[in-house]
Structure 1
């Protein structure tokens, strides 16, 4: 406690969650809340400070207070005795948002490369929006009009004020952990810079960047661009546009399918026609139109060639027969039978003592002596003779005397 008492005055920024200024009292009690975290601080201030602050000191406004902290041991609470309250102006808010924009951009949270494509037809859409809000009606109505079977899981949260950031972050975490949710939509209608301030909160931007499920931002109208628009995977200018971008149009897809079916039918019919024409051309070719004619032509060629081969073989045989007859005639003319037929004879000496065998041909008169037996072969047979004597070549035979 003594250490807290030794602290000097400090400046604290936050959002006024409660302002209590009862008439007849000199002290007003306020609750200052952190917009991003579930932390609050009790404030006490002179009643005149609250009354003189006017609209700047009202619940929901973002302020900067100056005061000295105090600790109460009995209750164990820390409070701040305030002596000055300043409303955070639009210029200062915009400057802070711009600094945060540069910081998140430097960290790569705005990089288009990290943005994911939305599923073509999500099974279930997670919607984070205000209760009974126009944004919820626009998203659901436009999506169901385009695709009646679409399903939603809706989380109602505060979309402005001190509780907005914490509730939106919790809803994002719950939808991101739901395996049936394919895409998450943050939807809110238009409003002032202060109203849309939660959607430029650093905690919410980092929660959106950490989601594994694609996130669509549909905050405000076209001119409104909170920081969450740059972090989300898809930015829609209005909730109405988000309802149109989430799902395809059933009528358009039906017409597209019908067109593709017609194109496929025409393409198939054209292909069949081309193939039929090709088959007709193939059938019109002579080899397929009358295959027997080709066989007949080849059969005639085979018959002609066979006759030619047969004629060639016969002529060859005739020539060989003529040649053989000539050779036979020559052999006959040169053979011993022809010589015998011309009046010649073959004289053979018959061996003595009945020795069997072919008698040797007598070639010289010196090979025989008187008394030798001879076999004389003529054209029509053979005769036997006995040698009486021999006459040398050139001697004239004597009449009436048989010699050999």
Structure 2
């Protein structure tokens, strides 16, 4: 409602500002389209500040939003992007400025396409389709290479020419498919699955030349990405130029910068491999030669030692010890034998002295009856009994003349 003011009765700034703020607060949220000409994310404040400009009318407005609102589109929105903002006008009484508080930001045109691709990328990443653990290694020399490409395309010629130039015996299984347009995704998926079902195909290359983002959209389609993720055969993505980055690059087992690089990444160079074999052979010869030289020097060092150069020195020293020990052994054995001989002689003398034969030599005789019993008393024999008399040098028979008193020879 109109206010009554004059130069003598003016309104305070705070009241005017409060009135403007009350009027602004009654305004509802609106959708606003414009181009971001200035962007200032402020992580410390938890806010982001944008300036939207209408190029046709040369008008601009300040937009603020919480970081979570801006972070939802930060990957696809930047200075120069066209956006649609759902925002409510806000009056800042402190500095007397009007801005829009955004609750949602949507990219327009290419930005919207990028946002859709980013949402798909995030979803597939959450499923683990981009994880390095899923990536399979390419074979060193593929038995047969599957190639999915456009018919009579430059990409096909680049791959085939480069691969055959590097390894003339390489073989391809080619499947042509539309690489852009409405039928591209279906044909690409069919070609990939057909090649994956062939057991002789060791690796699959999916390739096309460069193009606009819209032209490369089939290679970011979810159906193709999941078909590649399900392949048992390693897949190489070579889409466009190095700057192009369709989502297929993230799902494939290997991303090549260009179709030509795809051939280089998949097929070894025969000349390089021959040179590598020669280099390895030379390294092996040098290694073996160095090992032989080392062992020869070690052997010469050992051979130069006195124990090997003059081995008899060690024997001579031992020879003196052995000779001394042998002499000591002989002397000790001689002493032992001499003592044993003396002991034996003494024992023999004692035995001879105590022998019954020595007694017999003094003239004694031993009488035995027919049974061999020794006669010790005269009463043990009868007259006429025959006895055997044992003397020192033999024996003879005697007949008892009278029992118990004597005997005479017979």
State TM-score, norm by structure 1: 0.53
Alignment of 1:13-52 (within 5 A): none
Q: 1:211–1:299: structure 2 CA closer, same or farther, 3 Å change rule? A: same
Residue 271 (structure 2) aligns with: 251
Residue 241 (structure 1) aligns with: 261
Cα distance between partner residues in 2 of 1:188 and 1:319 = 115
Q: Kindly state the Cα deviation for residue 290 of structure 1 after the two structures are TM-superposed.
A: 5.0
Q: 1:308–1:145: structure 2 CA closer, same or farther, 3 Å change rule? A: same
Superposed CA deviations along residues 26-63 of structure 1, whole A, max 9, x for unmatched, are xxxxxxxxxxxxxxxxxxxxxxxxxxxxxxxxxxxxxx
Name which of 160, 166, 178 aligns with 2:180: 160
Cα distance between partner residues in 1 of 2:304 and 2:110 = 88
Superposed CA deviations along residues 272-323 of structure 1, whole A, max 9, x for unmatched, are 2222333334444455445556545544543443334444555777899999
Matched, 1:169 2:189: yes
Cα distance between partner residues in 1 of 2:336 and 2:214 = 124
Cα distance between partner residues in 2 of 1:312 and 1:100 = 106
Residue 149 (structure 2) aligns with: 129
Cα distance between partner residues in 2 of 1:100 and 1:315 = 111
Q: Secondary structure at the match of 2:136?
A: coil
Matched, 1:109 2:152: no
Name which of 297, 300, 313 aligns with 1:277: 297
Matched, 1:206 2:241: no
Residue 403 (structure 2) aligns with: none
Residue 22 (structure 1) aligns with: none
Residue 219 (structure 1) aligns with: 239
Q: For the pair shown, which has the larger CA radius of gyration, 1 or 2?
A: 1
Q: Secondary structure at the match of 1:207?
A: helix
Residue 385 (structure 2) aligns with: none
Q: 1:220–1:290: structure 2 CA closer, same or farther, 3 Å change rule? A: same
Q: Kindly state the Cα deviation for residue 153 of structure 1 after the two structures are TM-superposed.
A: 0.9
Cα distance between partner residues in 1 of 2:335 and 2:173 = 107
Cα distance between partner residues in 2 of 1:186 and 1:94 = 22
Cα distance between partner residues in 1 of 2:114 and 2:328 = 113
Worse-matched range after superposition: 213-222 or 305-314 = 305-314
Residue 34 (structure 1) aligns with: none
Instruction: Count residues with an aligned counterpart.
Output: 251
Q: 1:307–1:209: structure 2 CA closer, same or farther, 3 Å change rule? A: closer
Cα distance between partner residues in 1 of 2:221 and 2:314 = 91
Q: Secondary structure at the match of 2:241?
A: coil
Cα distance between partner residues in 1 of 2:212 and 2:185 = 17
- Say what the alpha-carbon RMSD is for the aligned residues: 3.8
Cα distance between partner residues in 2 of 1:230 and 1:320 = 105
Residue 267 (structure 1) aligns with: 287
Cα distance between partner residues in 2 of 1:323 and 1:101 = 115
Q: 1:301–1:189: structure 2 CA closer, same or farther, 3 Å change rule? A: same
Name which of 194, 202, 206 aligns with 1:182: 202
Q: Kindly state the Cα deviation for residue 324 of structure 1 after the two structures are TM-superposed.
A: 12
Alignment of 1:2-401 (within 5 A): 90-289=110-309, 291=311, 294-295=314-315, 297-311=317-331
Cα distance between partner residues in 1 of 2:274 and 2:137 = 23
Superposed CA deviations along residues 93-122 of structure 1, whole A, max 9, x for unmatched, are 333323322222222222222222222222
* Greater length-normalized contact order (CA 8 Å, ≥ 6 residues apart): 1
Superposed CA deviations along residues 70-93 of structure 1, whole A, max 9, x for unmatched, are xxxxxxxxxxxxxxxxxx954443
Cα distance between partner residues in 2 of 1:160 and 1:136 = 15
State TM-score, norm by structure 2: 0.52
Cα distance between partner residues in 2 of 1:193 and 1:323 = 125
Q: 1:193–1:307: structure 2 CA closer, same or farther, 3 Å change rule? A: closer
Cα distance between partner residues in 1 of 2:112 and 2:320 = 110
